[in-house]
Chains A and B, each alone.
Chain A
Amino acid sequence: MTPLFLAHGSAEFWSDQTVNGLTTGSIYALVALGYTMVYGILQLINFAHGEVFMVGAFAGYGVLVALGGEDISGVMVLVAIILALAAAGAASAVTAATIERVAYRPLRNAPRLAPLISAIGVSIFLSHLVDDGFLDGKSKFYPQIFPTGDLSAGPLSISYLQLFLIGSSLVMMAGLYWVVQRTRTGKAIRAVSESRENAALMGIDVDRMIVATFVLGAIMAGFGGVLYGLFLSSIRGSMGFLPGVKAFTAAVLGGIGSIPGAVVGGFFLGLTESVGRELLNEIPGVNLPNEWKDVVAFALLVVVLIFRPTGIFRQRETKRA
């Protein structure tokens, strides 16, 4: 766009990179919300969150296939996608609530390592149950029903699908923010994050609020799963692993425990993988093809942890880690 960038690629190239970054960023952000909320309330990395995301993707897939798969067209596309999102949110919510009840709650007062390992167990169980138990190692493919085509203005160009992804995820996140800020449940959740003891003294049912936190995060992850499926088509039992780790990275980047931080961190990470990586390629001698995006993301995480352990966007706390 400016002469600064002209070494490689045109303005179109950079605008494409930006759109791609925002698209993957929106999925990272949706998944990151669950990590950050659960961490805020339990100081637990919910390692199974990537699998909650996976369950959502499969629930959405099931609905789309049941409604006719590739044959869905016209206004039914919108209806089908809304139904898929609803099913995904519900399936993910049930999964997350079950995981909380079975694998985390009994370990609430256990040494800190125990719930973490239990979470890893759930994650392995779910991903392999789907991969080895149900799918025999094969992938499933989302029906490609979304209308193709681009919206363009000058060098800017964005496909309808990408526009839908970014737009709808923003709407979902705004919805979550409203729930957490304005509703009774949201306020209770925030109270429990501040202090479990004090919240209990105020008559808040702590266990219920913890479940509610898991459920809210899971709904976002389920939505993210459907969007992921629509965008990348191929889904598998192990699909949740990398987005899960990335989303956690995003949550750390934004300052773990903070909801707006997770959103900003998600988009930031998405942009870093596309635009940031290409910007690094502008440096002579550097060549980081797209396969290196995960490496770039992790390098970023490590750099952030060195210099801003509390996240890029958060004020540094005086107390040491």
Chain B
Amino acid sequence: MDGARLQTIGLGMRFQGLTALADIDIDVPAGQIRGLIGPNGAGKTTLFNCLTGFYRPTSGELRLGDMRVDGLEPHELSALGISRTFQNIRLFSNMTALENVLVGAHTHMGDVRATPPAAVRPSGNRLVDIARALPGAPAGAYGSVREFVGAVARPPVVRASERRAVGFARDLLRTVGLINRENEIARNMPYGDQRRLEIARALATRPRLLLLDEPTAGMNPQESAAVVALIRRVRNEFGATVILIEHQMRVVMGVCEQVTVLDYGRKIAEGTPAEVQRDRRVVEAYLGTRAVGGDSHGTA
């Protein structure tokens, strides 16, 4: 697993006349830890949603490595190596910690690849897309039947892949320090553990680009410090490019090599944490020469 370079070129996102993101140019080199900051409602999570396929950008391009990836479905982007955590933790709450991580490992287990490597960007015309998908249908059906039979008959290949996946998932739980809670139901776990479990689950997809949405939100300084150490380790051990949305300046200064600042859906500054901190526009955006809008969360 090596990190991948991420570029957005003139990326824009509009919701029925409301511009959430405009003209975003970001270039994150492979293996960098990039901070994404900005006041509430600046469009940070919207940008994450665009990068992971949950929103389809209304303009601009998205590139991962050499490949243009905007318009792909979330599961396709995940298979290409983009993984994320969510601002308001979204674990599979009635599944155990281990099962959560195993779901993350989904794409990389079994003898059938979940996603054909050549993900096709949609044309915008439903009919054309359906026509394009048709030739792949027999292969997809065959894969599904094969997977079904494998799950029921459990041949040695399937057992072995399951064992490998469990081993891999345990390794990840060990990495995030949750190995002794693997059988706990996710929703019963303490908040901090849930955040770390979400990171483990994201890592299980073997990301080349890891997007962390406020990984230290609601944590005390010690817990935050542990997460910072974890992020650094993830980059060093797994080599992934990391982008994190963060509000705690201590975390941003401690871990990010470069920082991008958004405000009102536009990029207003970029540079090292120290440079950004001195930037007049950033200070204005945060301290507010303008009145701060009422929307305290949600779009963030």
> Contact: A317 with B126, CB < 8 Å?
no
Interface string of B127-138 (1 = CB under 8 A from A): 100100000000
Q: Is the CB of B16 within 8 A of A317?
A: yes
Q: How far is the CA of A228 from the CA of B16 in the complex (A)?
A: 39
Cβ of B16: which chain A residues have Cβ within 8 Å of it? Answer: 315, 317
Tell me the bound Cα distance from A190 to B13 in angstroms.
26
Is B55's CB within 8 Å of the partner chain A?
Answer: yes
CB nearest to A319 among chain B residues: B55
Q: Whole-angstrom distance from the CB of B81 to the nearest CB of chain A? A: 21
Are B126 and A319 interface neighbours, CB within 8 A?
no
Q: Are B126 and A306 in contact (CB under 8 A)?
A: yes
| CB-based contact A318/B55 at 8 Å | yes
Which residue of A306, A317, A320 contacts B54 across the interface (Cβ within 8 Å)?
A320
Q: Which residues of B contact A318 (CB under 8 A)?
A: 13-15, 55-56, 58
A307 interface residue, CB < 8 Å from B?
yes
Residue of B nearest to A308 (CB): B126
Contacts of B126 in A (CB 8 A): 306-307
Please give the distance in Å from A292's CB to the nearest CB on chain B. Answer: 26
Alpha-carbon distance A318/B49, docked complex (angstroms): 12
Minimum CB–CB distance from B49 to chain A (whole Å) comes to: 9
Tell me, in angstroms, the Cα distance from A317 to B56 when the chains sit together: 10
Q: For the complex, give the distance between the alpha carbons of A318 and B58 in Å.
A: 8
Q: What is the distance, in angstroms, from B17's C-beta to the closest C-beta of chain A? A: 11
Q: Which of the listed residues A306, A317, A318 has the most CB atoms from chain B within 10 Å of its own CB?
A: A318
B226 CB, nearest partner CB in chain A, Å: 34
Q: Which residues of B contact A307 (CB under 8 A)?
A: 126-127
Alpha-carbon separation in the docked complex, A320 to B129 (Å): 15
In the assembled complex, the CB of B20 is this many whole angstroms from the nearest CB of chain A, namely: 10
* In the complex, residue of chain A having the shortest beta-carbon distance to the beta carbon of B58: A318
Rounded to whole angstroms, the CA-CA distance of A157 and B15 in the bound complex is: 47
A315–B54 Cα distance when bound, in Å, is 19
Task: Using CB atoms, name the residue of chain A closest to B20.
Answer: A318
Which chain A residues lie closer than 8 Å to B130 at the CB level? 306
Interface residues of B in 53-103 (CB under 8 A from A): 54-56, 58
Closest to A315 in B: B16
Write out the residue numbers on chain B whose beta carbons fall within 8 Å of the beta carbon of A317: 16
- Chain B nearest Cβ from A159, distance in angstroms: 41
With a cutoff of 8 Å between Cβ atoms, the chain B residues found around residue A306 in the complex are: 126, 130
Query: Which A residues are in CB contact (< 8 Å) with B56?
Result: 318, 320
Cα distance A317–B15 in the bound complex, in angstroms: 8
Task: Collect the chain A residues with CB atoms within 8 Å of residue B15's CB.
Answer: 318-319
Per-residue contact bits, chain B 1-25, to A (CB 8 Å; 1 contact, 0 not):
0000000000001111000000000
Q: Which residues of A, 266-321, contact B by the 8 Å Cβ criterion?
A: 306-307, 315, 317-320
Query: Which chain A positions have C-beta within 8 A of B58?
Result: 318
Bound CA span A2–B292, Å: 63
Q: In the complex, A315→B17 CA distance in Å?
A: 12
> Least Cβ distance of B233 to chain A in Å?
34
Distance of A198 from chain B, by nearest CB (Å): 9
Chain B window 35-62, contacts with chain A (Cβ cutoff 8 Å), 1 for yes, 0 for no: 0000000000000000000111010000
Q: Find chain B residues with CB under 8 A from A320 CB.
A: 54-56
The minimal Cβ–Cβ distance linking A255 to chain B, given in whole angstroms, is 13
Which residues of chain A have C-beta atoms less than 8 A from B13's C-beta? 318
Would you give the shortest CB distance from A211 to chain B, in whole angstroms? 27
Distance in angstroms between the alpha carbons of A73 and B259 in the assembled complex: 82
Question: Which residue of chain B lies nearest to A201 when distances are taken between CB atoms in the complex?
Answer: B294
- In the complex formed, the residue of A with least CB distance to B13 is A318
Q: Which residue of B lies closest to A197 (CB)?
A: B298
In the docked arrangement, what's the CA distance between A306 and B16, Å?
22
- In the complex, which residues of chain B have a beta carbon less than 8 angstroms from the beta carbon of A319? 15, 55
CA A216 – CA B294 in complex, angstroms? 32
Q: Using an 8 Å CB-CB cutoff, how does the interface string of B112-148 with A read, 1 for contact, 0 for none?
A: 0000000000000011001000000000000000000
Tell me which residues across on chain A come within 8 A of B54, comparing CB atoms: 320
A/B interface sample: 8 pairs, CB < 8 A: A306-B126, A307-B127, A317-B16, A318-B13, A318-B55, A319-B55, A320-B54, A320-B55
Tell me the A residues contacting B by CB distance below 8 Å: 306-307, 315, 317-320
Closest 5 CB pairs of A and B: A307-B126, A318-B56, A318-B58, A319-B55, A318-B15
Q: A318-B14, A318-B55 are in contact. List 13 more A-B contacts (CB 8 A).
A: A306-B126, A306-B130, A307-B126, A307-B127, A315-B16, A318-B13, A318-B15, A318-B58, A319-B15, A319-B55, A320-B54, A320-B55, A320-B56
